[in-house]
């Protein structure tokens, strides 16, 4: 993935035995651990699939970025992590 382009981060989630997820949020950090996207709601694409379109900055940091995802189902919480690499 090139700096200055967009990536769609998608995750299929389950939190508990009910099989339904009420909402999900995402935090993205750069290779240095700096938060580049603060806790932001993800789009509910249906069937427990949530997505977020991240537009990277052309002059941003290269390397592996981390998307930390939190899913909520009532009082239950599920956590996930996705890594992606940005290059110049």
Within a domain: 26:
yes
Residue 65, C-beta contacts closer than 8 angstroms, at least 6 positions apart: 28, 29, 30, 31, 36, 83, 84, 85, 86
- Is the pLDDT at 1 greater than 90, yes or no? no
In terms of Cα–Cα distance, which of 68, 75, 11 is closest to 36?
A: 68
CATH of the domain at 29: 2.60.40.1220
Within a domain: 79:
yes
Domain with 30, as residue range(s), is 6-86
Model confidence over 52-82: pLDDT tens digits?
A: 999 999 999 999 999 999 999 988 999 999 9
Domain count, the chain: 1
pTM confidence score? 0.92
Within a domain: 22:
yes
Cα distances (Å, whole numbers) of residue 7 to 29, 41, 48, 59, 75: 14, 16, 20, 16, 30
Beta partners for 72? Answer: 23, 77
Within a domain: 1:
no
Per-residue pLDDT, 17: 75
Q: Which residue has the higher pLDDT, 42 or 20?
A: 42
């Amino acid at each position: 993935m090139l700096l200055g382009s967009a990536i769609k981060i998608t995750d299929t989630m389950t939190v508990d035995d009910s099989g339904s997820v009420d909402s999900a949020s995402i935090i993205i950090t750069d290779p240095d651990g700096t938060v580049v996207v603060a806790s932001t709601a993800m789009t509910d694409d249906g069937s427990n699939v949530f997505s977020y379109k991240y537009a990277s900055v052309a002059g941003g940091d290269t390397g592996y970025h981390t998307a930390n995802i939190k899913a909520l189902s009532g009082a239950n919480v599920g956590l996930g992590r996705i890594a992606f690499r940005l290059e110049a």
